């Protein structure tokens, strides 16, 4: 199963670094549509992504039209303006979850062209929105939950102790 995360014109390097880390630990592919509000060698970006950057499957695009020329599949647009709940979608294999820039979201023209594919994470009225990296994590884990977390380890081990007994390991 392949999950694709699309960031359209991200502006804050720490958010993109956190999203890169989420993609790395889940196996999601990251697509970044330019222009970005920072350079890819930004220290804040790398610090947030830590040593996960080398595990990342990432592709850059010059524009949304460049992205659509090179990709196809079901697209879901995460936005505070949507009329549909993100949990009400059955995310298919190789789908694309789109997220907009931190200060403006996705272009309204794009949303207007795709009303049935626009989804919202429920939140309180009159509060602007969740942080971008939190929103991406919510979307990623909902799709993966529906797919029964393919290829992800679901059980962990204690570092010093064992779940099976009370002695140190």
Domain ranges of the chain: 3-146
Q: Would you say domain 3-146 falls under CATH 3.30.160.150?
A: no
**Which residues, other chains included, contact 1 with Cβ-Cβ below 8 Å and sequence gap of 6+?**
93, 94, 147, 150
Q: Is 100 annotated as a binding residue?
A: yes
Pick 165 or 72 by higher pLDDT: 72
> pLDDT tens digit string along 25-84?
999 999 999 999 877 775 665 665 556 677 889 999 999 999 999 999 999 999 999 999
What confidence category does residue 169 fall into, taking pLDDT thresholds of 50, 70 and 90?
very low
Pairwise CA distance, residues 33 & 100, whole Å: 10
Q: Is 129 annotated as a binding residue?
A: yes
Q: Is 121 annotated as a binding residue?
A: yes
């Amino acid at each position: 199963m392949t999950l694709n995360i699309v960031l359209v014109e991200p502006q804050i390097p720490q958010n993109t670094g956190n999203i890169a880390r989420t993609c790395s630990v889940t196996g999601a592919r990251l697509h970044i549509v330019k222009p970005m509000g920072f350079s890819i060698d930004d220290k804040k970006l790398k610090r947030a992504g830590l040593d996960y950057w080398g595990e990342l499957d990432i592709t850059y695009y010059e524009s949304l039209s460049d992205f659509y020329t090179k990709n196809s599949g079901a697209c879901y647009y995460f936005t505070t303006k949507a009329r549909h709940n993100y949990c009400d979608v059955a995310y298919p294999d190789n789908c694309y979850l789109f997220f907009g820039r931190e200060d403006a979201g996705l272009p309204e023209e794009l949303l207007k062209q795709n009303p049935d594919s626009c989804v919202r994470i429920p939140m309180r009225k009159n509060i602007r929105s969740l942080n971008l990296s939190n929103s991406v994590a919510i979307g990623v884990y909902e799709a993966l939950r529906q797919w029964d977390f393919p290829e992800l380890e679901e059980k962990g081990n204690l570092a010093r102790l064992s779940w099976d007994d009370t002695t140190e390991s």
